[in-house]
Chain A
Amino acid sequence: MSPARDLDGHRYDVIVVGAGWAGSLVAKRLGSQGWRVLVLEAGTTTLDTWAGHLDAMNTFYSSLIKVPNAPYRANTAAPSPSVLDTVPGKDGHGYQALGYLVQDGPLPYGTDYLRAGGGTGMHWLGLTPRMLPQDFKVRTQFGYGRDWPIGYDDLQHWYCEAEREIGVAGDAAEQTEEIGLPFPEGYVFPMHEIPSSYVDRVMAKHLNGKTVFDSCTDEPVELRVVNTPHGRNSTPNPAYDGGRGFRPQDAVGLPNYGERCVGNASCTPICPVQAKYNPLKTQAQWSRKVTLVDRAVVSRVLVADNGRVTGVEYQAYDDPATPVATTRTVEADVVVVAAHAIESARLLLASELANSSDQVGRNLMDHPVMLAWGLMPHQVGPFRGPGSTSAFERFRMGESRREHSPWRLVIANWGWTWAAGSPGSDVAEMLGIPDSPFKPRGKARYGPALREQLGDRIGRQVAFQFELEQDAQPGNRVTIDRRHRDALGNCRPILSYDLSDHVKKGMRAALDVSHQIFELLGAEERTRYTSDAPSYFEYEGTGYTFNGAGHGCGTHVMGDDRKTSVVDQWQRSWDHANLYLVGCGSMPSIGTSNPSLTMAALALRSVERIHQDLTELHRPLVLRPTPGYAHPTEARP
C-alpha cells in the first residue's frame, strides 16, 4: 500500500468523489478559493502523462472495434461498462447484458462510461450545444417529463463560465438566429466556429430551405444546416471577453502541444493531439490545495446522527489487475459526489443515504440515438474532420413536443462507421468474409476492382443520428442487490430501462423525416433495423433499433420539493445539508443537447454555494472581534 493513499484520520474541507469532468471543475474552483480539497478517483490515472496517452493511442489502433472505451485499460477493481456488453438474446430475440452492468429491463441500456482519471469526458465527442429555454419546463409547456427548479436565465452566466473553462468554438450569432438562443449582449464564444464539413455543405446545397413534414402532426419543418458549438480548439476569437481574447489550453503531459483540431477524425474515443477539451486539462490547472488520490474506490459516504455527512470510506488498491484493497476513512466538512449518474446513484444506495424521496436511482435517461444511412450519388468525403460539425436544429423545438419526443438531427461526418461498422465491414463484405467462420463465404473481388468498388462505396456514405430526448420515467432506474457484486465486493448497478411511447412515437416521426430527406438528397436509402439486434423493438407494426449516446442522466434529480426530488437547485441533498451530488444525475430533463456543457454549468454554479456553505461554517460565533483573537479563516495555512 502506497503511503500516499493511506489517509486514515486525515481531514479536508471538501472531499470530491470522482476525478471526472464535474469533479475536476469543482476541485479547481474550490482549490483556487483556498479550500483544501481531496479528490478520490476509483480508477487509475495513467492518461495524464504523454507516455500514458501514447499507450492509449496504441491500444486504440490495435482494438478491433473502436468503441468509446477501446483505448482505455480495463480495471477489475473499478470496472467500466462497454457498449459491447449488450448482445443479442440467446434465442435471437431481446438482449443479454454481459459485463459490469446487470440489466433486467424491457430494453437494453446500451451506453458506457469510463472509470479512470478524466472520466467519461476522455471519450466525449466534443459538442457543446446549450439547452433551449423551453427544455427546462417540459412538464408545464408540453405535458411530459419533469420541470427544472431553475431556468435558462439562471444558467446564462454559468453557461458562459463553462464555455470559458472548456474553450468553446462556435458562432453565437448563428445560434441566436437559427435556434433563438439568448446570450448576453455582444457575447462571442472563446473561439471561432469549427469549419463545417464538406458533408455539411452537400446537405446544405440539397436541403437548405426545403420543407419536410412531421407525419405525426402534419407540421411543416424547414431544413437548415446549422454549425454546432464545439469543445475543441479552433482559432481564438480576439473579440472574446471584451477584447481580451482567449488562450487555448495545451495538451496534458506535453507542454506547448495540442494546437487547433487537425482533423484526426477520432474524437470519440480519443483525440490524438488533445485539441478536444478533456477534464485532465482542468486538472492541470489545479492549485496545490487540491490532492488527487487514485485507485481509491469510495464504498460508503459516512453520516452522523444529526444527518450531516462526516466523510467517506474508500477502498485503496494497488494493482488494477489483482484487486486487493485496504479500507480507509477520511473526513471533511463537505462531500461532493461526482462519480457519473449511475455510479453516484449506486454509491448513495449502498450508503443508504439521501433517499427520503425514494427518487435516488430513478429517472435514468439517455439520448436514444436512431441511425439512418444511405449512399449519395457522388463522393462526399466522409471520415474526415470531427464526428459531426453541423445539425438540423428545428426538430428540437415547438408544439410537436406535446405529441412526441423532439430530436436533434445530427449530420454524421464518419460515413457508416456507427451504423454499419464501416469501413471494416465494407472490406469484409467485398471479400466475401461473413461475420462467422461457420457461414458460407461469398465470392471475393480482388485487385483494381476491389480498390475501385470500395472507394466508390465508402466515399459516398452519409448517415444521420436522430438523438431523441428521453423523458424522465421513475421506472427507468438504478438499483443494487447484495447478490450482484464486483471484485472488491461493491454492489454492481442493476439497470431497468425502457423507452416511453412518447419516445417511440418520436422515432416513428423521425424515421418518416429520414425517408423524406433521402428522397430530397436523391440518395439511396440503406437504413435497415434487424430483429436480432439487442435493442430491436416494434412500435405500431414497424421495427426499430437504437443506440446509447453515452449521456447517462437523471438519477438524483433536482427539484423544488424535497418530497419528490433528491437535490435542490444547488445540487445539494435535501436530506444532508453538506452533501452535494454534482453531475448529469441532477438533470430532471435533458432536452436534445449533449449534456456535458449543461453539467459543467451546473457544477460551476454549485461551487458558489459550496463556497458560501464553507465560509459560513468557518465564521466565528462571536461576530464582534475581541482583542488578540485570530479569525479562523485568517489562521488558515
Chain B
Amino acid sequence: MTTGVPLTATALASAATPDAPPAAPPAKDVDRFVRLSVALTGFDAFELHGTGLAEFYLRTVVAQVGRPAYDDLRKALEQAGLDPEKLEGDVHQDLARAVAHLWYLGVWPPLSAAVHAELRRQVANDAFTVAPEAYVQGLVWRTFHGHPQGAKAPGFGTWAAPPPGEPELPQPGRPVRGHGGKTGGGR
C-alpha cells in the first residue's frame, strides 16, 4: 500500500463534517460557488469537485460571513465577468482572498480588522483548519506536483525522482566510491 493512511482511517472521513450537519445547499448553489472558485484559484471545476469539499467549503464561507455577504461577493464577481481583478471594495477583495486561501490550504484566514467589523461578524476573527481532510485536500501542493505532508504518500524512493520537466540525476557519491556498497571498513 502506498497511500499515507490505511483504509481503516474512517475517522478521517467522518471528521470532515460536524456532528449535526446543516441542510445541504442545493446543487445549483454548489455549482455557482465552484464557478467563482475556478476564477479565484486557477483550478478547473473537475479538480475542485474532486476534492470532495466544495459543498463543505460553501457552508463554511456562509457560516463565517453570513449569506448576504457571500451573495454580494458572488454577484459582484459574476457581474465582473468572473474576473477577480475587477472586484471593487475592501469587503469583496478580502472575501475573495479568504475563499482562495481556504481552497489552497484548507484554512479559513483572519479577515482584515476593518472588514471583520464592517460585516458585524459574530465569530472570532481567527484562522483555523476547517477540517482535517481540508488540509489533505489543499490545492497548494498540486501547484508544484507535490503532496500534502503526512498524506497521499507517493511511495518508497519516489523522492529521488526528478519533478516533471527536470533531468534524471545520479545518486550522490556513487561513481566516486569503489567499494561496491557492501561492507563497512575495519579502520
**What is the distance, in angstroms, from A240's C-beta to the closest C-beta of chain B?**
11
A378 at the interface (CB under 8 A from B): yes
Q: A384 and B158: CB pair below 8 A?
A: yes
Q: Which A residues touch B129, using CB under 8 A?
A: 61-64
Q: Report Cα–Cα, A490/B113, bound state, in Å.
A: 41
Q: A384 and B42: CB pair below 8 A?
A: no
Q: B160 and A197: CB pair below 8 A?
A: yes
Q: Report Cα–Cα, A273/B154, bound state, in Å.
A: 12
Q: Report Cα–Cα, A463/B101, bound state, in Å.
A: 25
Q: Report Cα–Cα, A54/B12, bound state, in Å.
A: 8
Q: A188 and B116: CB pair below 8 A?
A: no
* B2, B39, B113, B185, most chain A CB atoms within 10 A: B185
Within 8 Å by CB of A427, from B8, B94, B104, lies B104
- Shortest Cβ distance from B152 into A: residue: A264
A-side residues, CB < 8 A to B, are: 50-51, 54-55, 57-58, 60-64, 66, 171-178, 180, 182-188, 195-198, 200-205, 208, 224-227, 234, 239, 254, 257, 259-266, 270, 272-273, 378-386, 389-390, 413-414, 417, 423-424, 426-428, 431-433, 437-438, 441, 444, 446-452, 454-455, 458-459
Q: B143 and A198: CB pair below 8 A?
A: no
Q: Report Cα–Cα, A377/B47, bound state, in Å.
A: 29
Map CB proximity to A onto B1-14 as digits: 1 under 8 Å, 0 otherwise: 11011101101100
**Given A195-B160, A446-B85; A188-B184 close (CB under 8 Å):** yes
Q: A173 and B177: CB pair below 8 A?
A: yes
Q: A270 and B150: CB pair below 8 A?
A: yes
**What is the distance, in angstroms, from A228's C-beta to the closest C-beta of chain B?**
11
Q: Report Cα–Cα, A444/B4, bound state, in Å.
A: 33
B70 at the interface (CB under 8 A from A): no
B132 at the interface (CB under 8 A from A): yes
B-side residues, CB < 8 A to A, are: 1-2, 4-6, 8-9, 11-12, 15, 39-43, 84-85, 90, 93-94, 96-97, 100-101, 104-105, 107, 109-113, 116, 125, 127-129, 131-133, 135-136, 139-141, 143-147, 149-151, 153-166, 169-173, 176-177, 179-187
Q: A173 and B149: CB pair below 8 A?
A: no
Q: Report Cα–Cα, A172/B1, bound state, in Å.
A: 29
Q: A264 and B4: CB pair below 8 A?
A: yes
Q: Which B residues touch A260, using CB under 8 A?
A: 156
Closest 3 CB pairs of A and B: A385-B159, A172-B184, A183-B184
The majority secondary structure among interface residues of chain B is loop
**Given A414-B149, A458-B144; A61-B132 close (CB under 8 Å):** yes
Q: Report Cα–Cα, A390/B101, bound state, in Å.
A: 34
- Shortest Cβ distance from B82 into A: residue: A447
Q: B150 and A265: CB pair below 8 A?
A: yes
Q: Which B residues touch A266, using CB under 8 A?
A: 149-150
- Shortest Cβ distance from A387 into B: residue: B149
**What is the distance, in angstroms, from A536's C-beta to the closest C-beta of chain B?**
25
Q: B146 and A379: CB pair below 8 A?
A: no
Q: A54 and B5: CB pair below 8 A?
A: yes
**Given A272-B151, A444-B97, A446-B42; A380-B163 close (CB under 8 Å):** yes
**What is the distance, in angstroms, from A630's C-beta to the closest C-beta of chain B?**
48
Q: Which A residues touch B93, using CB under 8 A?
A: 441, 444
- Shortest Cβ distance from A61 into B: residue: B132
Within 8 Å by CB of B112, from A200, A413, A437, lies A437
Q: Report Cα–Cα, A308/B1, bound state, in Å.
A: 53
Q: Which B residues touch A437, using CB under 8 A?
A: 110-113, 116, 125
Q: A201 and B156: CB pair below 8 A?
A: no
Q: Report Cα–Cα, A273/B180, bound state, in Å.
A: 31
Q: Which A residues touch B187, using CB under 8 A?
A: 176, 180, 182
**What is the distance, in angstroms, from A151's C-beta to the closest C-beta of chain B?**
15
**What is the distance, in angstroms, from A145's C-beta to the closest C-beta of chain B?**
25
Within 8 Å by CB of A383, from B12, B149, B162, B181, lies B149
Q: B144 and A459: CB pair below 8 A?
A: yes
Q: Which B residues touch A61, using CB under 8 A?
A: 12, 129, 132-133, 135-136, 150-151
Q: Report Cα–Cα, A254/B177, bound state, in Å.
A: 40
Q: Report Cα–Cα, A275/B96, bound state, in Å.
A: 41
Given A431-B101, A437-B112, 7 other A-B residues pairs in contact with their CB atoms under 8 A: A51-B11, A186-B183, A197-B159, A198-B159, A225-B172, A441-B94, A446-B39
Q: Which B residues touch A389, using CB under 8 A?
A: 159
Q: B5 and A173: CB pair below 8 A?
A: no
**What is the distance, in angstroms, from B73's C-beta to the closest C-beta of chain A?**
13
